[in-house]
Structure 1
Amino acid sequence: MPTRTLKDKVVVIGGASRNLGGLIATEIAAEGPKLVVHYNSDSSRDQAERTAARCEAAGAEAITHQGDLTKVAEVERLFDAAHKSFGKVDCMVNTAGMVIKKPMTETSEEEFDRMFAVNTKAAYFMMREAAKRLEDGGKIITVVTSLLAAYTGLYSVYAGSKAPVEHFTRALSKELFGRRISVNNIAPGPMDTPFFYPAETEDSIAYHKSSSMNGELTRIEDIVPWVRFLLTDGWWLNGQTLFINGGYTTR
């Protein structure tokens, strides 16, 4: 049993309507936290509400909140909503992200700007706002990608827009010394979710699978225990990127 629990802790989860963010919310709900289930657009509203309902059924308190995290004012509104409902924020987990796969020579300015807005800017300001709002002893976790340790083409703007988050994490973790707030990244391998498949072909999917120790993609169920660990007993880990990927890449 964990010696540090999430009972009554307020956890803001970016991108929590479905996939990894949704599973994190529902899996930690039994520990009795107060959850803010963020979602991006109207198309995700129903899924976010279903996630919140499952969390409450498992024993958590939960609210939903819509916001475009590429806009700093909406990041601030997300934390405002947490404070309004629960009076504080203890932890932030950001799973929001976006991927494209194409040669650098075919990447448009619009695609570049959008990828950096979602994967870099939103991550930065989620971390910044968490640092301003979290109670001492809090936790900040951002999901990046195992491609940060890969030597490969075609993901230049995706992996490139995730790469700065490692530096943000190291810098912020150092800046928060004295407050007992840990700041870490989790870098999954290619995950078996709808987020992954549109950018891939049958051949590339087979290659990704062959690069793990059991010939499978990373499952979101493989990642959640590590998030829970960082939120509880893993508090002493700080400023790190954990490559949770079955050996897909190492560093």
Structure 2
Amino acid sequence: MSIGEVLAQLRLEFPDTTISKLRFLEAEGLVEPQRTPAGYRKYSWDDVDRLRFVLTAQRDQYLPLRVIREQLAERSDPSAGRPRPALVAVGPTGEVPGRAGEGGPTEPTEVRLDRAELVARSGIDSSTLAELERLGVLVSRPPGWYDADALVIAQAVAGLARYGLEPRHLRGYRTAADREVGLFAQLVAPLARQSDPAARARAAETARELVGLSQQLHAALVRVGLRESLGR
């Protein structure tokens, strides 16, 4: 397949994928398509499987490319007489993206909800949504719709509310997130400002890795703090 045909295949599951992204992953050694005598890339189905594995690991697990590269190497290891296993990208709960009927339908990557839909899908009420917006914990995208991250925030707020936490208790999360944004932006902005598509792809990759590492750090710190508080 040509790079354009591969892009058409992958965009069914990963709508944000671009030609620049595919070239960046090739430059990082995660896929090695064959070249025609004229220099055009030609991808096999194995190449597409590798790309799907990489993109799923980034989207669902925020894994850095170094770790993904190691996992690919392990899966492709022919030692000990074992057959080379098929590369199948799986989500965090074991589902195979894009395969309805094998564990249920998958959630679309792109989400665009109006106010009523966000309330219905998240479990919060409209007054809570208004309070979250007033505190800056949740914001809409112009001209007034909500994306997948807004849905995640609203669902998390609904879950915390079952334990008695109110929107006013969550203002610190917004403050902490803003501090991280300022810190990470200093690291990513120099790459994002470059006109080179490969540099912009690297900026997006760096941002994903920083978000994943931040989540791991935050969760570990909370676990440690709770163990100390509970005397365990």
**Structure 2-normalised TM-score?**
0.30
Larger radius of gyration: 2
**Larger strand percent:** 1
- Give the TM-score, by structure 1 length: 0.28
